[in-house]
Amino acid sequence: MALLHLLKGAESISSLRDRNAAAAMATTAIVHLFQPLTFWWLRSETASDSLLMVSRTGPNGVWLSNADKVGGTERLARDDLYQRHPRAREAIESHRTLHVPLANGNYSVLLPFFNPADKLDSLLVAECREPLNPEQQDGIFCFLHFYANYLALLDYGELDTLTGLHNRKTFDEALERLLACQPEFVGPGEKRSVDASHPFWLAVLDLDYFKRINDTWGHLFGDETLLRFSRMLKETFRHEDRLFRFGGEEFIVLVRAQDRDHAQQSFERFRRRLAATEFPQVGTVTCSVGFTQLDPARPAIDTLGCADQALYFAKANGRNQTCNYEALIAEGRIEVHAPVEGGSGLGFDIDDYFA
């Protein structure tokens, strides 16, 4: 029966493209296999030494996952993990599952799972009434291997090959889902709606004078600039913020912030950090930013058009600045965006218009 449940879980996950829903389904399949009293599922992050909390036991025994963004994405530094679970280091370094007897008669289970490159992929930390048997361990390992392969396939279809950020197709789908206010998974069997008190904000970021970099230093340095820019995006924004390469030197960031000022602070923090960074050979690189609040009553193409219009204003008025569409409208500095049909106007280098 346990094997059948795992197979059904794999079948359900393979039909999904939503990572949060897939994580919830995977958690359900895993915990059903050995019925833990408490449970943490941690996954390694390639860009840091911290571990991402995929799911855990929350208040009153409710399963929570990182689809629940109200409290922010949970991460755990390895030192913090070792402090909470001193034998976690032993389990990871020895590549074996540990069953540690507890004073209450239960067992603390520490199960590490490694990818084919022998790097830690996942660590399960659970309290169980009895140790896992070999069949349970094998079932968990097989399922984690399947889940890692599933995520790798998603990455192949959703990520930009140069920068590793989400690509244009993924952005189109993500924006449509957000504007439609589709419910998100909190944990297995539970759903919630987007928290209206913390709206989403969409920003278009465009590197200033990027064509000059390509023309002066060549496309290899241009690609290196895009890579470093993308890496800085990942380092500056939160895990739950969504980062996309829209095309060329144009990028899109989706953040959740309680108001316009907090959203602007997020984008400004990145813009200032970029302007203060020296790029090899190229020197100083800046970007212009236009952003707007997501409004379910406004079609996706018009939402993008509003952020695009704020970006145009930033470019036309000196570049290297962050402009908000709603603020510009309120100040009478631009006209209300006219609904359009067809594709976005970001398919060309807008620096050409403000040379």
How distant, in Å, are the alpha carbons of 147, 237, 251, 271 from that of 233? Answer: 27, 6, 10, 10
- Closest C-alpha to 56, from 137, 124, 132: 124
DSSP 134-151: HHHHHHHHHHHHHHHHHH
Look up residue 258 and give its two tokens.
Answer: 């309680």
b/e per residue 241-267 (b: at least 16 CB within 10 A): bbbbbbbbbbbbbbbbbeebeebbebb
> What pLDDT, on a 0 to 100 scale, did the predictor assign at position 23?
84
- Asked whether residue 206 carries a pLDDT value surpassing 90, the answer given is yes
The mean pLDDT of 9-19, rounded to a whole number, is: 75
**Span between the terminal Cα atoms of the chain, in Å:** 67
Residue range 43-102, pLDDT digits in tens: 997 666 788 888 887 655 555 655 443 334 678 889 999 999 999 999 999 999 999 999
Residue range 232-267, pLDDT digits in tens: 999 899 878 999 999 999 999 999 999 999 999 999
How far apart CA 274 and CA 287 sit, in angstroms, is 8
Q: Tokens 């930009």 belong to which residue?
A: 160
How far apart CA 50 and CA 60 sit, in angstroms, is 27
The domains found in the chain, sorted by start residue, are 2-158 (3.30.450.40), 168-354 (3.30.70.270)
Calculate the dihedral angle through the C-alpha atoms of 63, 65, 67, 71, rounding to the nearest 10 degrees.
90
- Closest C-alpha to 204, from 239, 270, 254: 254
For residue 101, list its beta bridge partners: 107
- Positive or negative, the CA dihedral 275, 276, 278, 279 is negative
Residue range 310-347, pLDDT digits in tens: 999 999 999 999 999 999 999 999 999 888 665 444 54
**Residue 203 Cα to chain centre, angstroms:** 16
Residue range 62-71, pLDDT digits in tens: 556 554 433 3
Contact 346/246 with Cβ under 8 angstroms? Answer: yes
Contact 125/40 with Cβ under 8 angstroms? Answer: yes
Confidence grade of residue 11 (pLDDT, cut at 50, 70, 90) = confident
Q: Which residues contact 82 (CB under 8 A, 6 or more apart)?
A: 88, 89
Per the model's pLDDT, the better-predicted residue between 352 and 217 turns out to be 217
